[in-house]
Structure 1
Amino acid sequence: METVFDGSKLGIEPYDVEVTQGGELLVMDSTNSNIYQIALPLS
């Protein structure tokens, strides 16, 4: 297994992560109930 996303670096505590058909990550934040769309690759 490889870590591709560390939410703590962005101030996000991931509750759920989905991959879109376009290859982006949809991340639901457990702390604030926000949804983030994150493009890959992360730099």
Structure 2
Amino acid sequence: GNVVQFEHGYLVETIVEGNKIGISPHSIRLAPDGELFAVDSENSNIMRITPPLSQ
């Protein structure tokens, strides 16, 4: 998927493009390791948000 690194070290990676597989996700989940999984219902994408290593 597409990966974007933001100024403070966060990485945002699209891991599922819902429009391509016919789903429309809409939620945010926190993984035990601290990563966030955000679902963008407008664009039907699922993204992994990784915090900076310093946090």
With the length of structure 2 as denominator, give the TM-score of the two structures.
Answer: 0.43
Identity %: 41
Unaligned runs of 5+ in 2: 1-25
RMSD: 1.2
**Structure possessing the higher radius of gyration over alpha carbons:** 2
Unaligned runs of 5+ in 1: 1-14
| Runs of 4 or more above 2 Å deviation | none
Matched pairs, number: 27
The structure showing larger relative contact order (alpha-carbon pairs under 8 Å, at least 6 residues apart) is 2
Structure with more of its chain in strand, by fraction: 2
With the length of structure 1 as denominator, give the TM-score of the two structures.
Answer: 0.53
